[in-house]
Amino acid sequence: MTLHRGHHFTQVPGPTNIPERVLNAMNRQAVDFSRPDSLAMLEGLYPDLKSVFRIEAGQVFIYAANGHGGWEAAISNVLAPGDRVLVPETGQFGRGWAEAAKALGVEVEFLEGDWHRAPDPAALAERLERDRERAIKAVMLVQIDTASSVNSDVAAFRAALDAVGHPALFMVDAIAALGAVDLRQGEWGVDVAVAASQKALMLPPGLAFVGASEKALDAARANPRERYYWDWTRRLEREHYRWFCGTPALQLIFGLREVLDMIAEEGLEAGHRRHARLAEAVRRAVAAWSEGGALAFNVPEPVERANTVTTIRAPEAVGGEAIRRYCRDHFEVSLGGGLGRLSETTFRIGHMGYLNPPMILGTLGALEASLKALNVPCGDGGLAAVTDWLAKTAPSPD
């Protein structure tokens, strides 16, 4: 039996670290959710969630479900069997969302990608331009694909849709993005945005959120697909028992209430800046380690790298899984494994949610020590590059 002393660091790209005050907010007895104070609490979630999604018109829906459930909620409300969609290939999660759509009878066409580059808005515009019959019903874009750590430029995709004047619904998987990087559902004309609790929203897994524009709500009303649990029109009825299609997942929702308060305290944009700073700290270390050529970013182009997760290519002779396992078993840091076609060759550092400099320093230090123990040449400059960056971006002393 392995003895553990000290906190284990879980730096996978979800589930992420949960604030103690969120866990404690969840540590509560059952309540009758039809009590006036419960109903007021539940009602209050919606305007605050809309602020996080940055959507004024439309509605955000809360599901007892994981992110894959969120995917299904998005698809089943606005797409009927036989509808055609375009999916820019960003990595395993773009593939996964497409797989969900196919399972639900939707015809999927990929805008091919290589899992190393961000998807190209010009390629979308070109494809939509050729769709003279307007047969394409929706574009399904993953904002941050946690397998590849590619970051999609959501606003540029909106601009591409607008440039062509194509009426397709614009659907965005913001599961590994919302709360960590900018998403302006209203301003950017995102018709459907999907999020989940266990990423930058700092909650345990078990809640999914879907933001819907007025256009998406209209599409849902006109959609002949049979549906029940995910159905928006049912959830928009006044009766509180309909809001969650049955009993709300109360303890998770007590945690959500706390998270919404925490986001308001920090400010959404301050949270984005914190993520950008800590992501850059990770990248400075990875850049230094990569100088000898043994390691490399999965995403070569700096501006296309995500602020919530970094996928790193491991030396072929060692493999990503060996590094991950060593770091977990001997240095008490759990990193993410490679996924899909990147499963052999990469590993991943998750850096979103409830995160600060010492957590990142501990993680990166444990990883550097693991690389050294496995004789992966990584040099000695990684951690110094991180402290340089953190010092440079720290508040000046009073």
Proportion of the chain in helix, strand, coil states, percent, rounded to 5: 45, 15, 40
Q: Is 357 in the site for its own copies (CB under 8 A)?
A: no
Nearer to its own copies among residue 179 and residue 248 (C-beta): 248
137 binds its own copies (CB under 8 A): no
3-class secondary-structure state, position 16: coil
Q: Is 205 one of the binding residues for its own copies (CB under 8 A)?
A: yes
Least distance CB 339 / its own copies (angstroms): 9
Q: Which is nearer to its own copies, 81 or 267 (CB)?
A: 81
Instruction: Say whether 230 sits in a helix, a strand or coil.
Output: coil
Tell which positions 31-60 bind its own copies, by CB under 8 A.
Answer: 31-35
Least distance in angstroms from the C-beta of 8 to its own copies = 8
Closer of 17 and 90 to its own copies (Cβ): 17
The answer for residues whose C-beta is within 8 angstroms of residue 287's C-beta and 6 or more apart is 297, 385
**Tokens matching residue 334:** 């759990």
- Give, in degrees to the nearest 5, the angle at Cα 12 between 278 and 174: 75
Rounded least distance, CB 390 to its own copies, Å: 24
Count of residues in contact with its own copies, rule CB under 8 A: 59
Q: Which of 245, 262, 318, 369 binds its own copies (CB under 8 A)?
A: 245
356 binds its own copies (CB under 8 A): no
With CB under 8 A as the contact rule, which of the stretches 16-24, 109-117, 118-126, 387-395 interacts with its own copies? 16-24
Q: Choose which of 91, 113, 119, 206 interacts with its own copies (CB under 8 A).
A: 206
Distance CA 122, CA 153 (A): 12
Strand partners, 159: none
How many residues are listed for the chain in this entry? 398
Q: How far apart are CA 133 and CA 73, in angstroms?
A: 27
Interface segment toward its own copies; rule CB under 8 A; list 46-54, 61-69, 148-156, 211-219: 61-69
For the segment 211-240, give every residue that binds its own copies (CB under 8 A).
226-229, 231, 234
Question: Which residue from 9, 325, 346 is spatially nearest to 146, judged by alpha carbons?
Answer: 346
Taking phi first (over 0 means left), then psi (-120 to 50 degrees means alpha), and beta for anything else, what does residue 265 get? alpha
Closest CB 191 distance from its own copies, rounded Å:
20
Q: Which among 394, 261, 371 has a CA at the least distance from the CA of 322?
A: 371
- Neighbouring CB atoms inside 10 A of 10's CB total 18
- Distance between CA atoms of 209 and 174, rounded to whole angstroms? 10
Which region among 45-53, 166-174, 249-257, 284-292 touches its own copies (by CB under 8 A)?
Answer: 249-257
Tell me the three state secondary structure of residue 261: helix
Token pair for 323 = 């590094």
Amino acid 98 reads A
If DSSP codes are grouped into helix, strand and coil, which group holds residue 394? coil
63 sits in which H/E element? strand 59-64
- Cα separation, 224 vs 74, in Å, equals 15
Site string for its own copies, 308-337 (x = CB under 8 A): --------------------x-----x-xx
Interface residue with its own copies among 15, 58, 189, 319 (CB under 8 A) is: 15
Does position 289 interact with its own copies (CB under 8 A)? The reply is: no
Out of 180, 249, 349, 378, the only residue in the binding site for its own copies (CB under 8 A) is 249
CB 52 within 8 A of CB 257: no
Identify the residue whose tokens are 């010009």.
Answer: 122
Is there binding between residue 133 and its own copies (CB under 8 A)? no
- Residue 251: CB minimum distance to its own copies, A: 4
Does 147 engage in binding with its own copies (CB under 8 A)?
A: no
Mask for 82-121, x = binds its own copies (CB under 8 A): -----------------xx--xxx----------------
Question: Of 14 and 271, which has the nearer Cβ to its own copies?
Answer: 14
Chain residues that interact with its own copies, rule: CB under 8 A = 7-8, 10, 12, 14-18, 23-24, 26-35, 64-69, 71-72, 81, 99-100, 103-105, 196, 198, 204-206, 226-229, 231, 234, 244-252, 328, 334, 336-337
